């Protein structure tokens, strides 16, 4: 008897249906109970050009580093009215930019990736956009630098790998489906430099996040690294003139191709080192004066752009700006694995006016226009270098 006759003949007719069912089952299990909406077939091609430039929008929301803290991430999203109590998209036609660093320092990295993917699909159906970016911690993890992974973060990836492999075994029973690849191909069984109890978690993390790994390909390859929306340019660390001259579209395309396994194991040079687009602190370090001259040179090379919005460096005073509002720093260290800061998000309306939405109780029942830059009264006391139009507080 032929080998194929041992297998269920009914399965022969429904390979794609079975594969979809298995994927949904695994997604639901590892995401904490999420069902991902079906993607728009018009925008769900395997490879598409990364988003680099968008026109000005009526409502633009910028969210800083999340670092594996699911609950605080949801607080930030609710603060901006982007999700309801059931974590469903309520942002309408708003455009949202999450500045990167979803990974590391927290225990719910995969769950956040699934939540953001769900919101991307829901936003698209409502006429909105949810764009996620690469931070230095995404780049580090793709290169298997796990210095900032938590013990529970490793466990989350180990659990994901177990369910992913179960799903592959189920698919392998069906005639008509391509035989799944070995998830752990080329990955050592053990690591001499670490405790044995972490080996499985590290192996799973490497398998998931290496170039062309399932998590990297599915979630991170869709990230952008540099983004222009209207008169704002977004980047995790910062942009220098040489980065802009190299080409923003080129940077996004090359990073995407690297994550998809098309450019070797090592990240592009502009993603590594202290002057890299995801590592630069020249415009965000609170302890050092911002290099406004270098900032101006970078902005001058991007037509129509008047401000740079960045994360990466925790701002203990909350969202703030320097260099005449040309450098906006939005990483408030909200993750409990970092600074456990109060959630804040930045809103830019269609008139390019800036609004800080904050959970800081110091601003309860206040919604004031900022005073002149040289004034020491009012809200300027807390955010001394920042002069947006308003601060709004939400519970």
Domain limits of the chain? Answer: 50-143+217-358
pLDDT score recorded for residue 246 = 98
The pLDDT of residue 291: 93
CA 203 to chain centre: 23
Q: Specify the pLDDT at position 392.
A: 53
Mean pLDDT, residues 186-193 taken together: 92
Rounded to two decimals, what is the model's pTM?
A: 0.89
Angle at 53 between CA 47 and CA 55, to 5 degrees: 130
Tell me how far apart the alpha carbons of residues 156 and 160 are, in angstroms, rounded to a whole number: 6
**Averaged pLDDT for residues 364-373:** 36
Residues 6+ apart with CB under 8 A from 179: 172
Q: Which CATH architecture has domain 50-143+217-358?
A: 4-Layer Sandwich (3.60)
Report the chain's terminal Cα–Cα distance, integer Å: 68
- The mean-pLDDT minimum among 94-108, 235-249, 280-294, 333-347 falls in 280-294
Q: Is 137 assigned a catalytic role?
A: yes
Angle between helices 151-172 and 199-209 (to 10 degrees): 70
pLDDT of residue 381: 22
DSSP tally for the chain: helices H, then strands E: 10, 12
User: pLDDT higher for 38 or 286?
Assistant: 38
Q: Residue 1 has what pLDDT?
A: 41
CA distance 284 to 141: 23
Catalytic residue among 6, 67, 137, 199: 137
For the cut 90, the answer to whether the pLDDT of residue 302 exceeds it is yes
pLDDT of residue 378 exceeding 80? no
As a whole number, mean pLDDT of residues 4-33 equals 77
Adjacency order of strands within the sheet including 53-54: 53-54, 226-229, 232-235, 307-310, 327-329, 320-322
Query: In sequence order, which residues have a C-beta less than 8 Å from that of residue 233 and are 6 or more positions away?
Result: 226, 227, 239, 299, 302, 305, 307, 308, 309
CB-count exposure of residue 236 (10 Å: 0-12, 13-18, 19+): buried
What pLDDT band is residue 73 in, cutting at 50, 70 and 90? very high
For 394, the token pair is 């939400």
SS3 (DSSP) at 259: helix
What per-residue string of b and e applies to 75-88 under the rule 16 or more CB within 10 Å gives b? bbbbbbbbbeeebe
Question: What pLDDT does 14 receive?
Answer: 65
Res. 247: pLDDT tops 50:
yes
Sign of the Cα pseudo-torsion (289, 147, 166, 218, in order): positive
Residue 240 scores a pLDDT above 70: yes
Q: Are 79 and 255 in contact (CB under 8 A)?
A: no
């Amino acid at each position: 008897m032929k080998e194929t006759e041992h297998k269920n003949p009914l399965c022969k007719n429904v390979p794609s249906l079975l594969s979809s069912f298995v994927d949904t089952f695994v997604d639901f299990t590892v995401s904490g109970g999420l069902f991902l909406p079906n993607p728009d077939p018009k925008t769900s091609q395997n490879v598409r050009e990364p988003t680099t430039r968008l026109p000005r929008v009526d409502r633009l929301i910028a969210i800083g580093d999340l670092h594996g803290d699911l609950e605080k991430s949801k607080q930030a999203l609710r603060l901006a009215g982007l999700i309801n109590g059931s974590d469903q998209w309520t942002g309408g036609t708003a455009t949202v930019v999450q500045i990167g660093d979803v990974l590391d320092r927290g225990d719910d990295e995969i769950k956040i990736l699934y939540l953001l993917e769900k919101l991307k699909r829901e936003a698209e159906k409502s006429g909105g956009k949810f764009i996620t970016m690469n931070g230095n911690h995404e780049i580090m993890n793709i290169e298997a630098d796990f210095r900032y992974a938590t013990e529970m973060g490793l466990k989350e990836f180990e659990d994901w790998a177990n369910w992913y492999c179960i799903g592959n075994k189920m698919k392998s029973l069906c005639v008509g489906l391509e035989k799944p690849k070995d998830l752990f191909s080329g990955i050592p069984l053990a690591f001499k430099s670490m405790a044995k109890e972490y080996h499985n978690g590290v192996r799973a993390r490497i398998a998931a996040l290496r170039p062309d790994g399932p998590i990297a390909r599915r979630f991170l390859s869709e990230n952008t690294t540099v983004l222009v929306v209207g008169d704002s340019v977004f980047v995790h660390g910062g942009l220098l003139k040489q980065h802009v001259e190299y080409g923003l579209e080129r940077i996004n395309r090359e990073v995407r191709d690297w994550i998809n396994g098309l450019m070797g194991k090592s990240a592009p040079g502009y993603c590594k080192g202290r002057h890299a687009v995801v590592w630069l602190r020249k415009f965000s370090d609170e302890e050092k004066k911002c290099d406004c001259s270098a900032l101006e040179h970078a902005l001058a090379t991007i037509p129509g752009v008047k401000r740079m919005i960045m994360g990466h460096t925790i701002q203990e005073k909350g969202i703030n700006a320097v260099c005449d509002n040309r450098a906006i720093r939005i990483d408030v260290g909200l993750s409990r694995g970092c600074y456990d800061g109060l959630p804040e998000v930045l809103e830019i309306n269609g008139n390019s006016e800036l609004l800080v939405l904050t959970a800081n109780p110091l601003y309860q029942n206040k919604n004031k226009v900022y005073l002149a830059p040289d004034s020491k009264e009012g809200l300027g006391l807390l955010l001394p270098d920042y002069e947006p139009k308003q601060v709004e507080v939400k519970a």
